[in-house]
Amino acid sequence: MKRRLFAAAIGAAALVASGSALAGKDLDAIKARGAVICGVPTGIAGFAAADSQGKWIGLDVDVCRAVSAAIFGDSEKVKYVPLTSQQRFTALQSGEVDLLSNNTTVTLQRDTALGLDFTAITYYDGQGFMVPKKLGLKSAKELNGATVCVAPGTTTELNLADYFRANKMTFKPVVIEKVDEIRAAFYSGRCDVYTTDVSSLAATRVANTPAPLTPDDFMILPEIISKEPLGPMVRHGDNQLTDIIRWTQYAMLEAEEYGITSKNVDEMLKSENPTIKRILGVTPGMGKALGVDEKWVYTIVKQVGNYGESFDRHVGSGSLLKIDRGVNKLWTQGGLQYAPPIR
């Protein structure tokens, strides 16, 4: 009996010790500072771009806002740091930002070799090619010998080389770090082709085509040459912060799945559905488990919206981009967006 008690005491001590080791310094620093510092792209319409008042808007921005809502009960406690693809990992490693919400593709090497972790996939993307229609191309297989604009430090660069090699074609890369300068090079005709994630190509075509050219002068070729699952990244070592960011994404998906929107979330507090009661904290427990307020999902949905609302508003049917939800539909509608249960 005595021995069993002793073993139980050691077990409890180990739990406490590991608990405090896992609730790490990054979350503490965020709380002490009173703001989340979020690394975002320098400007991709619909995903992360500052408006004329300097307010950051977009699907990637909503990830930061939702994390802020979960931690502070207020989606506006965010500082945005615009980063190029080349700068992003160093900025996170050095502690300049707390997280990246920066159209970053999950890959094995990034997850293992950088001292960084991915949380959840916020957008399933793929790499494509944009060309002027006047070139009269129908397929990426016709790009032999093309001059291709591409950003450094990206999966894009690697896939581009693989694709051309696999198809026995050659290309001349024009590698430019700043997205503004890539666009300028492409639109001035310095490159025949611009390659990156198709979401960014769609955004660039709609929002950045300089007059007198129009978006209709350009097309995205049909081939999608890679998988680009995009998601937020954090540093290794603060598992509680990682959990909060991961479950913030799942919360936005769960809310959509259960029909909870920014418009009806107050009504939904009265729902008899046990799952909805748990999600919204009417039945407590989930917030405590995550180390945030029980109303965390309520606050995220009220202030930011569910995933579908955010998608439609910024990049989908309610936006200029009009990107089809495609594989980013919920799994219940034939898509890949699937959140584990909040329970």
Ligand X SMILES: N[C@@H](CCC(=O)N[C@@H](CS)C(=O)NCC(=O)O)C(=O)O
Q: Which residues bind ligand X (CB under 6 A)?
A: 41-44, 84-85, 102-105, 151, 154-156, 178-179, 196-197, 200, 228, 230
Smallest distance from ligand X to CB 151, Å: 4
Instruction: State the Cα torsion 198-312-99-16 to the nearest 10°.
Output: -130
Smallest distance from ligand X to CB 254, Å: 26
Nearer to ligand X, 231 or 281 (CB): 231
Pairing of the two strands 99-100 and 36-41? parallel
Nearer to ligand X, 126 or 305 (CB): 126
Nearer to ligand X, 105 or 310 (CB): 105
Pairing of the two strands 56-57 and 49-50? antiparallel
Point out the residue whose Cβ comes nearest to ligand X.
42
Specify the amino acid at residue 233: M
Nearer to ligand X, 107 or 262 (CB): 107
Peptide bond into 215 cis (omega under 30): no
Distance CA 127, CA 339 (A): 24
Smallest distance from ligand X to CB 68, Å: 21
Nearer to ligand X, 81 or 268 (CB): 81
Which segments of 209-339 does DSSP mark as H helices, in order?
239-257, 265-268, 274-279, 286-290, 296-303, 307-314
In 3D space, the residue among 342, 339, 251, 337 whose CA is nearest the CA of residue 298 turns out to be 251
Nearer to ligand X, 121 or 151 (CB): 151
Tokens representing 134? 């006047």
Smallest distance from ligand X to CB 41, Å: 4
Which segments of the chain does DSSP mark as H helices, in order?
2-22, 25-33, 59-72, 88-93, 108-113, 155-166, 179-187, 198-208, 239-257, 265-268, 274-279, 286-290, 296-303, 307-314
CA distances from 301 to 1, 123, 160, 282, 308 (A): 50, 18, 38, 14, 11
Smallest distance from ligand X to CB 60, Å: 9
Nearer to ligand X, 27 or 230 (CB): 230
Smallest distance from ligand X to CB 257, Å: 26
> 3-state DSSP call for residue 287?
helix
Smallest distance from ligand X to CB 252, Å: 21
